[in-house]
């Protein structure tokens, strides 16, 4: 009997693992089908591409690694080329701890010579009220401190109600995020933005989101391109060595 119980338990565990694997595979295939419908194709990230993403995310952290190792790993990268920019869908995992943690899930990356961005991160404030909102904002302030120096925009209360900004170059970031850009950003909600040089990533932090659909991915890409339009400069900058679609 004990042997039968062990076999039964192992069989149940194997069935659960198989179901999880099949579900993950089906999810990847569905996401790929949706991305292809929007003109994206799978790409294998080059070491240079990985290095640039790591630099974008790592350089703004106060606890950035100094051993030369890569904290982040790109997964499920798909790309689409346009006249003004290269657009990518990607997942990003943080592997610096004991377990690998998913940092981004199907975020959008825009790479363009029309971008000349200071390094900064935009975090959404929790859409809560009362004491719970104060506690959440305090916790968010503690988290954002890991990404450089908080940048205040007291003259843009509509923006500050929805977002916090952090940057290792606060003065340059404050100059770049002028009144016009802050007004445009204040019209959005729940966006997490990483910016630096010719690269811009946009992800939506929405705990109510469920499954990935053509409509949701289309909205994410359109949203990222709208932010690109806000952030771009009037003329193309010299090539910055960004990833190139082939």
Map out the domains of the chain as residue ranges. Answer: 1-37, 40-246
| Phi, psi (rounded to 5 degrees) for 105 | -125, 110
Nearest to 89 by CA among 72, 74, 102, 70: 74
90-107 pLDDT, tens digit each:
988 887 655 556 678 889
Least confident residue range of 13-17, 53-57, 152-156: 13-17
Take residue 26 and report the two structure tokens written for it.
């089906």
What is the model's pTM? 0.78
pLDDT band at 115 (very low <50, low <70, confident <90, very high): very high
pLDDT band at 204 (very low <50, low <70, confident <90, very high): confident
């Amino acid at each position: 009997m004990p042997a039968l119980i062990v076999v039964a338990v192992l069989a149940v565990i194997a069935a659960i693992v198989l179901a999880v694997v099949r579900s993950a595979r089906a999810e990847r295939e569905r996401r790929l089908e949706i991305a292809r419908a929007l003109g994206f194709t799978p790409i294998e990230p080059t070491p240079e591409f990985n290095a640039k993403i790591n630099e974008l995310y790592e350089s703004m952290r106060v606890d950035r690694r100094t051993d030369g190792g890569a904290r982040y790993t790109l997964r499920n990268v798909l790309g689409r080329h346009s006249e003004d920019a290269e657009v990518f869908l990607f997942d990003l995992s943080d592997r610096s701890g004991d377990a690998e943690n998913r940092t981004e899930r199907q975020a959008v990356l825009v790479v363009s010579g029309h971008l000349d961005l200071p390094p900064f991160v935009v975090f959404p404030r929790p859409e809560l009220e009362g004491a719970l909102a104060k506690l959440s904002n305090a916790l968010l302030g503690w988290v954002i401190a890991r990404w450089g120096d908080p940048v205040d925009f007291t003259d843009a209360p509509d923006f500050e109600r929805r977002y916090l900004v952090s940057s290792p170059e606060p003065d340059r970031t404050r100059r770049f995020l002028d009144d016009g850009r802050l007004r445009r950003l204040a019209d959005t909600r729940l966006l997490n933005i990483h910016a630096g040089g010719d690269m811009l990533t946009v992800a939506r932090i929405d705990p109510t989101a469920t499954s990935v659909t053509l409509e949701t991915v289309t909205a994410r890409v359109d949203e990222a391109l709208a932010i690109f339009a806000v952030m771009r400069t009037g003329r193309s900058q010299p090539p910055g060595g960004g990833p190139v679609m082939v």
